[in-house]
Amino acid sequence: MSNSVLVTGGAGYIGSHVVQQLIARGERVVVIDDLSTGFREMVRGAELVVGNVGDRALVTRVLDKHHVDAVLHFAAHTVVPESLSNPLKYYGNNTCNTHSLLACCAAAGVGRFIFSSTAAVYGMTDDGIADEDTPTQPINPYGASKLMSETMLRDFCATGAMRHVTLRYFNVAGCDPEGRIGHSTLHSTLLIKVACEHAVGKRANIAVFGSDYDTPDGTGIRDYIHVEDLAAAHLSALDHLRDDGESLTLNCGYGHGYSVREVIDAVQRVGGRPLTVIELPRRAGDTPMLIARSERLKQRLDWQPKYDDLDFIVRTALLWEQKLARKPA
């Protein structure tokens, strides 16, 4: 039996797009997802095992049964405001469960691991820009929980037992351009999804949290990366590890940003209708600006983005929301 790739959280937003790309190029894929935020129908062409990645007996059985030689680890809670109100949930699910998964991988001899991390590990930088050597100073438990996992993974790989690629995502947005899968997370806090939900009538308005930042229009600026480009980076990372490449930590972003107002303008432009915008105070845990320096990703993994266009990102997100809106309740 040939080896398989295990994707944890593969029924979720980003994981499902990675699974779809892996299947498209002929990989054998098995997914573990507890479906707490993921959706069974998002797993297309791979075996889905419903369960929690912290269940060592389950993970051990899957690693053995499917002859897993590489793990892509997405399973995590990712909502910054919730991490502030319920930090132990984040340290338990994101950090403790990653420790458990790594222990299972160590016992099974899995040699390759790709970790879904976040730009939230940087916190606030002096100039709003981060490269991989920028000091990590997370300002919320979500970022801290991911940084702890990064540290465990780095230290374990330093023993020589495993090699890894850690990918630090900036703001992921958009959906499969063919509309087969998309971002279906309930109660999302991600700006482009929220704005598109409002555009199709699912939400009464779109809130701007903070209009007094020291930015050109007063609203926060973020580096938005299309989920398909991000997924492609994971496949490149897997190829790198299979080619005996060294362990790496890499930013995933386009290297430029858009403000909240610019994103709202794009949703209005693409959707062809005005949005109802309300202004609210800043949210705890938000930074004024965070943009990636991602030259290292391009150099080390030969990654080239295909969808670096805000209107395209919005269009794919809006098409998915329109598809969801047509589904019977």
Q: Is residue 204 domain-shared with residue 160, that is, in the same domain?
A: no
- CB-CB contact of 120 with 75 (8 Å): no
Q: Is residue 277 domain-shared with residue 145, that is, in the same domain?
A: no
Q: 3-state SS of 220-270? A: CEECEEEHHHHHHHHHHHHHHHHCCCCCEEEEECCCCCEEHHHHHHHHHHH
Contacts of 196 (CB under 8 A, 6+ apart): 267, 271, 314, 317, 318, 320, 321
What is the CATH number for 231? 3.40.50.720
Examine residue 184 and state whether it is found in any structural domain, yes or no. no
pLDDT in tens, the chain (329 residues): 579 999 999 999 999 999 999 999 999 999 999 999 999 999 999 999 999 999 999 999 999 999 999 999 999 999 888 999 999 999 999 999 999 999 999 999 999 999 999 999 999 999 999 999 999 999 999 999 999 999 999 999 999 999 999 999 999 999 999 999 999 988 888 999 999 999 999 999 999 999 999 999 999 999 999 999 999 999 999 999 999 999 999 999 999 999 999 999 999 999 999 999 999 999 877 889 999 999 999 999 999 999 999 999 999 999 999 999 998 76
Closest Cα to residue 167, out of 20, 48, 292?
Answer: 292
Owning domain of residue 37 = 4-173+224-252
Examine residue 182 and state whether it is found in any structural domain, yes or no. no
Examine residue 181 and state whether it is found in any structural domain, yes or no. no
Task: Decide if 307 is catalytic.
Answer: no
Examine residue 180 and state whether it is found in any structural domain, yes or no. no
- CB-CB contact of 249 with 168 (8 Å): yes
Q: Is residue 155 domain-shared with residue 199, that is, in the same domain?
A: no
Please pick, among 142, 213, 254, 258, the residue that the annotation labels catalytic: 142
Q: Report the alpha-carbon distance of residue 184 to residue 179 in Å, rounded.
A: 12
- CB-CB contact of 217 with 258 (8 Å): no
What is the CATH number for 263? 3.90.25.10
Q: Is residue 164 domain-shared with residue 311, that is, in the same domain?
A: no
Counted domains in the chain: 2
